[in-house]
Amino acid sequence: MRTGDQVVQDLPWRWGVQGKIFLIGGLGYMFDAWDVALNGFLTPLLGVEFDLSTGQRGLVATANLIGMAVGAVAFGTIADRMGRKRVFSITLLIFALFSVLGAFSPSWEIFLALRFLAGIGLGGCIPVDYAIVSEFSPRRYRGKVLAAMDGWWPVGTTLAGLSATLLVPVEGNWRWMLALMVLPALLLFWIRRGVPESPIYLARTGREAEARTVIDDMVRRTGAPVEQYAITAAAPEPTTSRRRGLGALGEQLRMVWAFNPRITGVAWSLFITVMVVYYAALSWMPSILRAQGMGEVAAFASTTVMNAVGILGVITSVLLVEVVGRKWVIGVAGPCAALSLVVFSLVMGSPTAAVAMIAVFGFFALVVIPVMYAYVSELYPTELRASGFGWASSSSRAVTGFVPLIFGSLLWPVLGLPLTFTLMALLVFAAVTFMALGAPETRGRELDRITGDEQTLDAPAVERVEKA
């Protein structure tokens, strides 16, 4: 007899069932992209508004990204302990609340504090979104679905760029840029209330009756054959599971590394190196182009081109992820994205060539990031999926949170752009080499049964940790 997990992962794809989860989860991810991209446009405007130094301008993005690091860890852990559905909506509400308050900031210091708090809510969205979408997706399409999730990223960054470009002439432009995205975010919060809890999560946490209700409803709505199935026995509750606050975070971090140190090392190294390159470009590209003599509108528009071309990158990732596998896409596209920035820094004297290389970077960055997100979310078992992804995401947010500050005050003015981007490219090469040697391919494999060189996910990870 098959398990309920297997039934869910073998259901036919229906837009009215799994597709609804994909769309609602993806829209939340779009706001993450919109907010992160907005940092690059806010930096020069706030610099003028509050007469900020280059280092202080870097803190505009740093406060937001550090908040995201905190949110990714905190809400990834909460989602694995309390469920996906509740956190699914709370994170977006926190983001919307502090974003609208940020639009009314009377000073730079208050603005930084509110951007940090908004980042906490937004940082919690990604691990929860990817966990719930992956657990509802049929395994035949899971790679494409998770890669397609990142299609919402260039949509969000493009909307940020378009709104920023159009609002440049408006008085109080940066305040309107923040306020503009709050209303649709609140609407999405209301819509998310109708999303069911993940049946795989319900099964793993011993809520068999609820799991059967969701699974039976999905079978009926997808038109799949009705069959008898068993619910996988709940993982034994760890002796430390009653910990709260920082103790719970520390325990979940220990479990993530105890599950498989090599896989977690691969996940963290990929997230850190790839996202350092991406956020450095996203946060500083308008300022770099302004320094090259472009006007504010032209610099904003050129950065928007980088984001818009990313839509083609996501489409390419969706087409390739199930054909050549996750590792090949990451291993080729990641270094190509980093190298395109090196070339960009060498041809900046030619505006046409510079904008062309910005577009090339936007393309390859949005080929590698969707597949990387899908890959890391598949590497962990259900009871660690949100927190495993969340800690990997948080590690990159923590590092990249300081990149805007370090990039603007040290790397760019001291080393210059060519050497700075070359160093970043070398780090990406090292990370993809580690992935090639240290982690398994996940294409076409059943969640919780991804087999590495010496690790099989047939037993719950918590049980393995407790026996250790």
**Cα–Cα distance list, 104 to 27, 179, 379, 396 (Å):** 25, 9, 42, 29
Rounded Cα gap, residues 308 and 310, in angstroms: 5
351-379 and 152-167 are packed helices; what angle lies between their axes, rounded to 10 degrees?
140
pLDDT on residue 360: 94
Largest CA distance in the chain: 68
Rounded Cα gap, residues 384 and 205, in angstroms: 12
84-102 and 173-180 are packed helices; what angle lies between their axes, rounded to 10 degrees?
160
Kindly state the tokens that stand for 298: 């032209």
- From first to last of its 468 residues, the chain has per-residue pLDDT tens of 888 888 998 999 999 999 988 988 888 778 777 887 888 788 888 888 888 887 787 787 778 878 887 887 788 777 777 777 778 778 878 888 888 898 899 998 999 999 999 888 887 877 777 778 888 989 888 878 877 887 787 888 888 888 888 888 888 888 998 888 777 777 677 777 778 888 888 888 888 999 999 999 999 999 999 999 998 755 554 444 445 555 666 777 888 888 889 999 999 999 999 988 888 787 777 777 777 777 667 677 777 788 788 889 989 998 998 888 899 999 999 999 999 999 998 998 888 888 899 899 999 998 999 899 888 888 888 778 777 887 887 787 778 767 766 776 677 777 878 898 899 899 999 999 999 998 888 887 766 665 444 343 333 433 433 343
Q: Is 202 left (phi over 0), alpha (psi -120 to 50) or beta?
A: alpha
**Are residues 408 and 417 in contact, defined by beta-carbon separation less than 8 angstroms?**
no
Rounded Cα gap, residues 196 and 217, in angstroms: 10
**Are residues 442 and 322 in contact, defined by beta-carbon separation less than 8 angstroms?**
no
pLDDT on residue 262: 92
Q: Which domains does the chain have, with CATH numbers?
A: 4-467 (1.20.1250.20)
Kindly state the tokens that stand for 188: 């999405």
pLDDT on residue 301: 75
pLDDT on residue 452: 45
Cβ atoms within 10 Å, residue 352: 8
**Are residues 118 and 69 in contact, defined by beta-carbon separation less than 8 angstroms?**
no
pLDDT on residue 268: 94
Question: Burial level of 444, CB count in 10 A (0-12/13-18/19+)?
Answer: exposed
pLDDT on residue 464: 39
Residue 64 DSSP label: H
- Least Cα distance to 26 among 171, 103, 108, 128 occurs for 128
pLDDT on residue 123: 79
